[in-house]
């Protein structure tokens, strides 16, 4: 691996770590609000189940 490839790989890992930390906790008020704004057709089965469990009941 060249030095340039190592820096690219490191940069990608940092970006992934930062963006994954930005998602609100499942079941939190912010998460429920964000999911309400997301089109229902774009929800995953897991999101639909979690929404029902945490935001409706």
At 20 the pLDDT is 63
Round to whole Å and give the CA distance between 25 and 17: 15
Does 30 fall in a domain?
yes
In a domain, 2, yes or no: no
Cα 21 from chain centroid (whole Å): 8
Q: Is residue 49 part of a domain?
A: yes
Average pLDDT over residues 30-57: 95
- Nearest to residue 34, comparing CAs of 16, 19, 25? 25
Q: Is residue 19 part of a domain?
A: no
pLDDT tens column, 22-41: 778 999 999 999 999 999 99
8 within domain boundaries: no
Question: Which of 26, 33, 30 shows the shortest CA–CA distance to 53?
Answer: 26
pLDDT of residue 23: 77
Helix, coil or strand: residue 21: coil
pLDDT for residue 18 is more than 80:
no
Question: Which structural domain range is residue 47 located in?
Answer: 24-57
26: which DSSP letter? Answer: T
Domain count, the chain: 1
CA 3 to chain centre: 31
């Amino acid at each position: 691996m060249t030095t340039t490839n190592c820096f690219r790989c490191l940069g990608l890992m940092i970006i992934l770590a930062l963006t994954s930390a930005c998602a609100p906790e499942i079941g939190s008020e912010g998460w429920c609000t964000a999911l309400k704004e997301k089109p229902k057709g774009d929800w995953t089965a897991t999101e639909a189940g979690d929404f029902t469990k945490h935001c409706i009941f």
